[in-house]
């Protein structure tokens, strides 16, 4: 988060939306380059939703940083990291 903030002057958005307002992917994708996952970030189709066929195929490459400790999530590769959004939070926008 701090690396993103240092580069852009703000935290990443909680969700990135398409031009027509559909949610595409979350802050987790935007942070990939900041923990040595630049190649995975480049593979991601940023104009498609996280669950498009292409992007779903990348889930096995999910960084361990997003995985649960000592647990297999259901469904596989699910993440439980969430953020609060709204006025007065870090994800206000």
What pLDDT is stored for residue 21 in this prediction? 95
Beta strands, E only, the chain: 15-17, 23-26
Half-sphere exposure (CA, 13 Å, Cβ side) for 35?
A: 12
Model pLDDT for residues 11-40, shown as the tens digit of each residue:
899 999 999 999 999 999 999 999 899 999
Q: How far apart are CA 14 and CA 1, in angstroms?
A: 12
Q: How far apart are CA 33 and CA 87, in angstroms?
A: 27
Question: Where are the alpha helices (H) located in the chain, listed in sequence order?
Answer: 2-8, 27-30, 38-43, 53-56
For the entire predicted model, the pTM comes to: 0.82
- For residue 52 the two structure tokens come to 């498009």
What pLDDT is stored for residue 73 in this prediction? 65
Residue 56's Cα: distance from chain center in Å? 13
């Amino acid at each position: 988060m701090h690396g993103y903030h240092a580069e852009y002057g703000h935290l990443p958005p909680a969700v990135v939306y398409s031009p027509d307002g559909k949610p595409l992917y979350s802050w987790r994708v935007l942070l990939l380059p900041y923990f040595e996952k630049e190649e995975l970030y480049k593979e991601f189709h940023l104009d498609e939703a996280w669950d498009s066929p292409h992007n779903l195929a990348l889930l096995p490459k999910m960084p361990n940083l997003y995985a649960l400790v000592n647990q297999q999530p259901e469904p596989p590769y699910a993440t439980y990291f969430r953020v609060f959004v709204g006025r007065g939070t870090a994800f206000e926008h």
